[in-house]
Chains A and B, each alone.
Chain A
């Protein structure tokens, strides 16, 4: 049981390049989230998906798009990367009960030069 799996673990992009971060969960959860983590800023919600076929903006959605491909997979796309998007990105998924904790992937460390 892997929980939440993210790929890649590391990525370096040049300004203007595009890429997609992949996330998959094997827990049969409905909800999935994308966060970014920056020093001194905590985790900020980029986008979330409450169920297959739905996505909603979080706190910092600008410059990103998402796709909920199926119940397992939730991808995050940077169409034209900018240095301000240098960050560590985490995918997460909570259990179905209201107080269930988030299960996190191990993160993708992205550097945009």
Chain B
């Protein structure tokens, strides 16, 4: 069975600092990888996704993620965060085109002034 591990449950960071949110997955087959963001009292929104091709994926709001097949990782990065990036971030993996989406437990990013 596939699983998703988000290594940090909370990440505090100061405004304008860089941030990396870590995600590892376990799967022996090809997967699709996603990062979602959830702002307080809202549903989840897609940040970015990796389906195939270039391992560096750019998403909305200046976020990017790099797919590393050998390390089975899909870490999310932003070079300079803003207060408005404070939210919970979820990594998710889908096995092939027909599988269900499996979510990690989430990482709460807290950006302080």
Contacts and interface: CB of A to CB of B under 8 A. Distances in A.
Interface of A: 4, 33, 35, 40-45, 48, 58, 90, 92, 94, 97-99, 101-102, 104-107
Contacts of A42: 6, 90, 103-106
Contact of B44 (A41, A45, A90, A94): A90
Interface in B84-111: 90, 94, 96-98, 100-101, 103-106
B113 interface: no
Contacts of B94: 99
B32 A98 contact: yes
B37 to A, nearest CB: 11
Given A99-B32, A105-B43, 10 more contacts: A35-B103, A41-B105, A42-B90, A42-B106, A43-B44, A94-B101, A98-B51, A101-B36, A104-B43, A107-B43
Contacts of B46: 101-102
24 contacts: A33-B101, A35-B103, A40-B106, A41-B105, A42-B6, A42-B103, A43-B44, A45-B100, A45-B101, A90-B44, A97-B97, A98-B32, A99-B49, A99-B51, A101-B36, A102-B44, A102-B46, A104-B43, A104-B44, A106-B42, A106-B43, A107-B41, A107-B42, A107-B43
Contacts of B101: 33, 45, 94, 102
9 tightest A-B CB contacts, nearest first: A98-B97, A104-B43, A99-B51, A42-B105, A101-B46, A43-B103, A42-B103, A104-B44, A106-B43
B25 interface: no
B26 interface: no
A45 B113 CA distance: 36
A90 B51 contact: no
Given A42-B90, A42-B106, A99 B97 contact: yes
Given A40-B9, A42-B90, A42-B106, A98 B43 contact: no
